[in-house]
Amino acid sequence: MTALSPTTDTVGKTRKPFAEFCRRFLRQKVALLALAFLVALVFTAVFAPWVAPYDPSAPDYMNVLQGPSAAHWAGTDTYGRDIFSRILWGARISLAVGFLSVTLGAIGGVGMGIVAGYYGGWTDSLVMRLCDLLLAFPGILLAIAVIAILGPGITNVIYAVAIFSIPVFARLARGTTLQLKQAVYVDAARAVGVADPVIMLRHILPGTLPNVIVYFSMRIGTSILTAAALSFIGLGAQPPSPEWGAMLADGRTYMGVADHLTLFPGLAIFLTVLGFNLLGDGLRDALDPKLRSH
Amino acid sequence: MLSYLIKRLLGAIPVVLMVTLAVFAFVHLLPGDPARLVAGPEATAQDVEAVRTALGLDKPLPQQFATYLSNTVQGDFGTSLKTRRPVAEEIGMRLMPTIWLTVFAMVWAVAVGLLIGVISAVRRGRWPDYTGMIVAVSGISFPPFWLGLLLINLFSVRLGWLPTGGYGTWQHFIMPSFTLGLGVAAVMARFTRSAFIEIAREDYVRTARAKGVPERRVIWRHSLRNALIPIITMVGLQFGFLLGGSIVVESVFSWPGVGRLLVDSVSYRDYPVIQALVLMFSLQFILINLLVDVLYVFANPEIRYK
């Protein structure tokens, strides 16, 4: 992926990179749809206490394991809790875990990547070897190892998933930094005596952002999936938390009897992750039309 | 070519050492006293001291690491806290089921992924392409544990065609390997499509077409062969995904493999087993990446003849 550069259209006037990016992004119907869905989801999550028709943790033993109905859109679980309300509350958990872990991972990774790329030499080797080390633990394994040290729980899942995002962002930021380091404006800044930290923050960081944002979106999908998987195998959010993965684990005993227990939480995870992946695809294509065919 | 392979092999050694060091450090990162963890919560102070001496936890750290390294090389990973049996034995019993599951998943996923990717690339911008890519992006986003539950519900609970879980006959393999492979098939389809489109722009493909080589031959002979190089790299990367994925999928299908052993061990805080498994998973991953590099050399004449 290359950074955006001003492009010239047929009339010959130069467009600003950001305007060009927006114009290209707005043409992508699927990505826009995904964005609309995600915005709606974020709103429902934030306003869940007002939007949710029932208290997500209030048991109702008169209405246990009921299928979807007008009163309970997604049915009720073993304690008679309204599944639709639990899914709305669960959105808060999944989105918060996704955003927080990827933000932490991106800050850590981008910071490390820029410093490594800018200084080169042993700093670079050190950071890159650290990334090699983190990448040597495939997929969810690193997160499980972190959970084994910190103990199960949703807060620890955030750290675990954050650490698992660091090396990817570090490599991405380092690559862009190596390119930008050669840029004339960085040379100029250095020549007039701007301090290194200022150059990195003011002149290099903004250049790495376009790629980081594309990756950010895709990574949130992966992180939500990983966090739900950890909760599903009992290492993340613990019951009675309305976390989607934990709800699925809860409902698996009732398959064939009350399918809605596993249907709706799974659908929620799938649609959310799909939304972030489609948005990420759209952002990537808008950022670099050369990759569009890919 | 040999010198390239040797260089690559030597390059992996520092990573292996770092991984081993990190896994060794793991027990020391745990909150609390490792000797107490091993001795158990009811142990007296004396017992704890005895365990400390027995495990050499009273020795300086570098010496402990040296002992750990030499034990590991000899296949001694200590004793499971849960079963009190050698960790190597616990893992040995469960290794083959995981390897078979991973291999089956990989084989179908790569075959189907390649096929969908090639069809999408060849019919680019038409309905087979759109269908293929919609299936692919859904496959990437599909939670494997949910897919597993849906399959169990349909084929075991409702239709009664396949066992809900466990290990033994070929029927046991169908749902777990499908569940595990779906994500990889999706990634492979997307990747193959883009690699193929890239290749189709190359001069030699145009030349082949221009001189009247049949389209079928252009696709399978001229394009796919060259697209194979990036595809092999991708397959190697996907192995990591499968190793990680097996942990979750094995839990869904009660598969008696190392992935489920890891989850159980984390819940039980069986640290010697966790330590050994984390080391094993990552060494496997490093080894597979090395193998990919070797294959890469064979697939890419540019490196081969250097």
Residue of A nearest to B237 (CA): A138
Q: At what angle do helices B127-141 and A260-287 cross, to 10 degrees?
A: 120
Least confident of A5-9, A55-59, A63-67, A183-187: A5-9
Q: Are residues B260 and B198 in the same domain?
A: yes
Tell me, what CATH number does B267's domain have?
1.10.3720.10
Q: Give me the domain span that covers residue B104.
A: 94-299
- Tell which of A233, A260, A272 to mutate to test the B interface (max B CBs under 10 Å): A233
Taking an 8 Å cut-off on Cβ atoms, the answer to whether B153 and A259 are in contact is yes
- pLDDT in the model for residue A9: 46
Q: Are residues B144 and B274 in the same domain?
A: yes
Classify residue B87: in a domain, yes or no: no
For residue A290, what pLDDT band results from cuts at 50, 70 and 90? Answer: low
B251 close to A (CB below 8 A): yes
- pLDDT in the model for residue A157: 92
- pLDDT in the model for residue B243: 83
Can you give the pLDDT of all 306 residues of chain B as single tens digits? 677 778 878 878 888 888 888 888 887 777 777 777 777 777 788 888 888 887 777 788 888 888 888 888 888 888 888 888 899 998 999 999 999 999 999 999 999 999 999 889 888 888 888 888 888 989 999 999 999 999 998 988 888 888 888 888 888 888 999 999 999 999 999 888 888 888 877 788 888 888 888 878 887 777 777 777 778 878 887 887 888 888 999 999 989 999 999 999 988 888 889 989 999 988 888 888 888 877 777 776 666 555
Q: How far is A185 from chain B (nearest CA, A)?
A: 33
Q: Are residues B51 and B187 in the same domain?
A: no
Taking an 8 Å cut-off on Cβ atoms, the answer to whether B141 and A225 are in contact is yes
Does A1 have pLDDT greater than 70? no
Taking an 8 Å cut-off on Cβ atoms, the answer to whether A293 and B141 are in contact is no
Tokens, residue A273:
């992750």
Taking an 8 Å cut-off on Cβ atoms, the answer to whether B146 and A262 are in contact is yes
State the average pLDDT over residues A77-83.
85
Give the total number of structural domains in chain B. 2
> From CA A212, how far away is CA A175, in angstroms rounded?
11
Q: Are residues B128 and B261 in the same domain?
A: yes
Residues 6 or more apart whose Cβ sits within 8 Å of residue B28: B34, B61
- pLDDT in the model for residue B242: 87
- pLDDT in the model for residue B102: 92
In total, chain B counts a number of residues equal to 306
Q: Are residues B129 and B190 in the same domain?
A: yes
Q: Which residues of B touch A228 (CB under 8 A)?
A: 143, 145
Nearest to B23 by CA among B262, B292, B228, B249: B262
Q: Are residues B67 and B113 in the same domain?
A: no
> From CA B207, how far away is CA B75, in angstroms rounded?
56
- Among residues B76, B102, B129, the one where a domain terminates is B76
Write the residue in A139, A248, A281 that is nearest to B240 by C-beta: A139
Write the residue in B146, B198, B282 that is nearest to A248 by C-beta: B146
Classify residue B306: in a domain, yes or no: no
Q: Which residues of A touch B271 (CB under 8 A)?
A: 148
> From CA B190, how far away is CA A123, in angstroms rounded?
36
Nearest to A140 by CA among B185, B139, B242, B183: B242
- pLDDT in the model for residue B305: 56
* pLDDT above 70 coverage of chain A, percent: 93
Taking an 8 Å cut-off on Cβ atoms, the answer to whether B244 and A147 are in contact is no
Write the residue in B149, B267, B286 that is nearest to A262 by C-beta: B149
State the average pLDDT over residues A154-180.
91
> From CA A158, how far away is CA B240, in angstroms rounded?
21
Interface of B with A in 201-240 (CB under 8 A): 239-240
Write the residue in B15, B149, B266 that is nearest to A144 by C-beta: B266
> From CA B140, how far away is CA A12, in angstroms rounded?
41
- pLDDT in the model for residue B185: 93
Classify residue B38: in a domain, yes or no: yes
Classify residue B88: in a domain, yes or no: no
Q: What is the pLDDT of chain B when averaged over all its residues?
A: 85
Classify residue B254: in a domain, yes or no: yes
How many CB contacts within 8 angstroms connect chain A with chain B?
135
Higher pLDDT, A115 or B84: A115
- pLDDT in the model for residue B44: 82
Taking an 8 Å cut-off on Cβ atoms, the answer to whether B240 and A248 are in contact is no
Does A13 have pLDDT greater than 70? no
Q: Are residues B54 and B165 in the same domain?
A: no
**Model confidence over A189-206: pLDDT tens digits?**
888 988 888 888 888 898
For chain B, the first-to-last Cα distance in angstroms comes to 6
Higher pLDDT, A183 or B299: A183
Residue of B nearest to A244 (CA): B146
Classify residue B174: in a domain, yes or no: yes
- Among residues B76, B102, B137, the one where a domain terminates is B76
Taking an 8 Å cut-off on Cβ atoms, the answer to whether A225 and B143 are in contact is yes
- pLDDT in the model for residue B293: 77
Q: Are residues B185 and B61 in the same domain?
A: no
Q: Are residues B71 and B107 in the same domain?
A: no
Q: Is B164 exposed, middle or buried (0-12, 13-18, 19+ CB in 10 A)?
A: middle
Q: Are residues B222 and B279 in the same domain?
A: yes
Classify residue B305: in a domain, yes or no: no
- pTM, whole model, 2 decimals? 0.87
Classify residue B179: in a domain, yes or no: yes
- pLDDT in the model for residue B208: 83
Residues 6 or more apart whose Cβ sits within 8 Å of residue A64: A76, A77, A78, A79, A80
Taking an 8 Å cut-off on Cβ atoms, the answer to whether A144 and B19 are in contact is no
Q: Is A176 exposed, middle or buried (0-12, 13-18, 19+ CB in 10 A)?
A: buried
Q: Which long-range contacts (CB under 8 A, 24 or more apart) does B3-9 make?
A: B4/B297, B4/B303, B4/B306, B5/B293, B5/B294, B5/B297, B8/B290, B8/B293, B8/B294, B9/B290
**Model confidence over A227-257: pLDDT tens digits?**
999 999 989 888 888 999 999 998 888 887 8
- Among residues B76, B111, B132, the one where a domain terminates is B76
Nearest to B69 by CA among B22, B35, B36, B30: B22
Q: Are residues B177 and B288 in the same domain?
A: yes
3-state secondary structure of A82: strand
- pLDDT in the model for residue A86: 92
Q: Are residues B98 and B130 in the same domain?
A: yes
- pLDDT in the model for residue B238: 85
